[in-house]
Every structure is written in C-alpha cells, then in structure tokens.
Chain A
Amino acid sequence: MKTPYAPVKIILADDHEIFRDGFHSLLKNQTGIVLLAEAANGQQLVTLTAKHLPDVVLTDIKMPVMDGIEATRIITEKYPQVGIIALSMFNDDKLIIDMLEAGAKGYLIKNAHKTEIIDAINTVAQHNQYYCSATGIKLTQLIANSRFNPNDPNSKMIFSDKEKEVICLICQEFSNKEISLALHLSIRTIEGYRERILQKTNSRNTAGIVVYAIRNNIFIP
C-alpha cells in the first residue's frame, strides 16, 4: 500500500500522440501524480512498466503491435502490484469487460473530467477498483456477472433494511430527490444513506454501488 504523501507514479499508453499530449497537459501541474513515461502500444507499455515499476498504468484498449488487453494480462501476471486503468473511447462495454477480466482494476472513458481521472488514479493506486461515473446500467450488469472479481474486504458488510431499500432504488437510477419522495424521507437523510452506502460498499460512485449490489444479491436486475 502506498504511503499517503508519496506521489503516485503513472505510465500512459495510447497510440495517439495528440491524446498523450493532451493527457500530459492535463496532469502537468497536478501535485501528487507523476507521469513517468508514455507508450504508443502495448509492447512499449510492458517494457516501460518493467523499467519504471509505476503505481498505476493507464492504457488504451485498441493499439497496434499489442493491444491493451494483452498488455494488461502480461503486466498483471508479472507485476501484480501495478494498478491498471483501461481507457475506453466510449463505453465499449465488451472491451471494458475484457480489460477487467485481463486484470485491470478500473476504467475511464477518455473524455472523463479531470477530477474523475485524478480520483481514479488515486483509487487504483490504493489497490481499489474504480468504475467510471459514466457507466451505464448495462455495463454494471456485465461487470457484476463477469469473471472480474477483485478481493473486496468489505464484501461481508451488513446492511439495514432501509439501506437495502435505498440501494435498490439507486440501482434503478433514482436520484436522491426521487428516493426521498419514494421513501418519505428528507433529501438530507437520503444523502446520509448514500454516503454510508458508498463507504460500506467501498465505492467511489453509483456504478460501484450497483456492481456491489448485483454481485451480493441485494439487487436483482
């Protein structure tokens, strides 16, 4: 586990130079994250990972020479301590599943917001999984039913009946306001519930809650 104050060392892999340049600009003044190297394909990524041993690798999925899926498989096997985040152009659901099954700890869509990218990097650096906030309901179901099954230390959590009710409504894409109306509780209370559920499920966002809920049979889609 990383010490809280050491910067997170990352490597980026993408075959588009312009994308790498944009990504570099985005993080250039970001404290706490250091971009060590950039790779243009999976093979370069594997070599650079061996050389630098970063905390986190962010990699495109479709690349020439060697794709992100194969690179993820190799890195996961050789350097299991390296957290891998898949970068997907859009929600290419099936490709994301391939990446997670190959060993990626999380994924982001390429046009994700800066704060989300930073959040994802820090989450994966702490060896937790990260699901992009733009995750659709279909993808959460695919993830929950996939072979991707990270060790979740909190999987034996106990939820109150009310918490389970809130979880089920979250899974049905209810907003806090809609949940408060459905359960006759104040929005404040619901926000409190949501916060507690995020903590208990060790999730960063709704997508994490939904995957957890489906996987633990709290919600059956």
Chain B
Amino acid sequence: MDTKESTTYHAVLIAAAVIGTIIFYFIVSVIRQQRKHRLLYKAKIEAEITTLEKERARVAADLHDELGPTLSAVKFKLASIEKLNGEDAVTITKASHYIDTILHQVRNIANDLMPNTLLRKGPADAIEEFIDHMTVNSGLKISFRPENMPVIPQSHAIHVYRIIQEIIHNTVKHAGATKLKIELYAHKNKFIIATADDGKGFNYNTMIKEKNGLGLSNLRSRTEILSGELHVSSRPGKGTTFIIEIPIPG
C-alpha cells in the first residue's frame, strides 16, 4: 500500500467510524426519547386517574358524611312535630318518605363514586360488596375467591378494584354470560387477577379500535399504571378470559 492509498484508507475508516458513531448515537437517542415519552405518558395517565379518583373520593365523602346526617336531621325535625291534624300528619309522613328516598339515592351515588368499604376495609371486601350488588341487579352468577389474596398497598387498591369493577360491568353489559369466575392470588412476585366468563366472547382487536372499547382502554390504562400486563383471550362463542399480572411492589 503506497502513502496515498494508506491516507485514503484511513480517511474512509475515520469517516465510517464517525458515521457509525452518529448512527449509533441517533438510535440510542431515539430509544431514549421513546422511553422518556412512554414514562411521561404513563405519568400523565397516572396523574389524570389519580386526580379523578381523589375528586371522586372527595365528592363521595361529602355526600356520605355531610349530606346524609343533615337529611337525617331534617327527618328527625319533621318527626318531632306534634299535635298534627290528619292531613298534616299524612304530609309529614310523605315528606319523611321522600327524605328516605333521597338518602337512598345519595347512598347509591356516593357508593358508585367511591365505595366506603374500599377505603375502610380494602379491595377484597369492597369487591365482595360490589359483587353482591351486581348479583342482585343483573342475575349474573359471580364466584369470587379472594382467600389467597396478598396484601395490596393502598396505592394499588383503587386500581385493582376498578379493574374488577370494569370486567364485571363489561361482562354484564356485553358478554351475555351466565357465570363469571374471579380469582385474586399471588404467584411468585406477582399479583394475579384472573377472570373467566361463559359468554359469547368478542374480537379484542376490533373492540379496542372501536369507540365502545372505552372499558377495555380503561383496563389497559389501569394495568399500565400498575406496571402490569394485561392478557385477554376471547373468541366469538368461546367466552372471555382476562389475566392481569401486577408486580408486587417490594
């Protein structure tokens, strides 16, 4: 190799190294950017959902703890009126019944927003309560086994509850199922939510693209917040199975 050839060779080598470095740097920064974007997206969803849940809890607490006792007090005041003639007595009785109706509605609204039991007793009890409520109102037979349920941190509890609530709602609304089985258990260092119904099933990909797949995207967001994985297996006519794996925080 003469001097000229050697110089060209070195120049090419340097140019290749420079281009390689630039390409490498470009790829790395794209990956980094993507990772950062995903983290930001997750943080954004988490912030949105956390705000939403906080607001729900506040409204529910106000309804339950402030409005409830005040309405009861009004009822007591009415009941304390004495020496009524027949017509007035009927009016008072009716007004009392109306207050009972309002209280009942307030209770339902508050409970839909944020179940008291979830805050006081944790997800297993709250899920049980929700299942009882849905069984009465929908006729769907739901079996729920929380026996080996691990302790779920408070930060995760609301999402676990909402995930199961969403699955039950979906099953009642769309699945046409008669039975739904729900299991919650710990496996290795993961917490598993597994459900199976005997309904008509659906096409996951079609559903997720359509607007009415809102329930499913809600499930995905919640799972993502918990850094979990969502597996759905559903085929028309074969029922639907959800498996959600959530890492147990150390």
Distance to closest chain A CB from B67 (angstroms) = 10
Interface 0/1 of A7-18, CB less than 8 Å to B: 000000010101
Given A26-B79, A90-B103, A110 and B72 contact (CB-CB distance below 8 Å): yes
**Choice from A26, A94, A111 contacting B117 with Cβ under 8 Å:** A94
* Chain A residue at minimal CB-CB distance from B71: A111
* Chain B residue at minimal CB-CB distance from A61: B120
* Chain B residue at minimal CB-CB distance from A89: B68
* Chain A residue at minimal CB-CB distance from B111: A90
The interface centre, meaning the residue of A23, A89, A110 with most chain B CB atoms within 10 A of its CB, is A89
* Chain B residue at minimal CB-CB distance from A16: B69
Q: Is A19's CB under 8 angstroms from B80's CB?
A: no
Interface 0/1 of B66-108, CB less than 8 Å to A: 1011111111110110100000000000000001100100010
Distance to closest chain A CB from B61 (angstroms) = 9
Within 8 Å of chain A (Cβ to Cβ): is B4? no
Given A94-B121, A94-B125, A26 and B76 contact (CB-CB distance below 8 Å): yes
Q: Is B117's CB under 8 angstroms from A23's CB?
A: no
Bound-complex Cα distance A22 to B66 (A):
14
> What is the number of residues of chain A that contact chain B, defined by CB distance less than 8 Å?
24
- The residues of A that contact B100 with a CB separation of less than 8 Å are 111
- The residues of A that contact B73 with a CB separation of less than 8 Å are 16, 18-19, 21-23
* Chain A residue at minimal CB-CB distance from B73: A22
- The residues of A that contact B107 with a CB separation of less than 8 Å are 89-90
Q: Is B72's CB under 8 angstroms from A22's CB?
A: yes
Q: Is A89's CB under 8 angstroms from B64's CB?
A: yes
Bound-complex Cα distance A90 to B69 (A):
10
Distance to closest chain B CB from A95 (angstroms) = 6
- The residues of B that contact A92 with a CB separation of less than 8 Å are 116-117, 120
Q: A-side interface residues toward B, CB under 8 Å? A: 14, 16, 18-19, 21-23, 25-26, 28-29, 60, 62, 89-90, 92-95, 110-111, 113-114, 138
Known contacts A89-B107, A90-B68, A110-B68, then 4 further A-B pairs from the complex at CB < 8 Å, ordered by chain A residue:
A22-B75, A22-B76, A22-B80, A26-B79
Can you list 24 pairs linking A and B with CB atoms under 8 Å apart? A14-B69, A16-B70, A16-B73, A19-B69, A19-B70, A21-B73, A22-B76, A23-B76, A25-B77, A25-B80, A26-B79, A28-B80, A89-B69, A89-B72, A90-B64, A90-B68, A93-B117, A93-B129, A95-B116, A110-B68, A111-B75, A111-B99, A114-B79, A138-B132
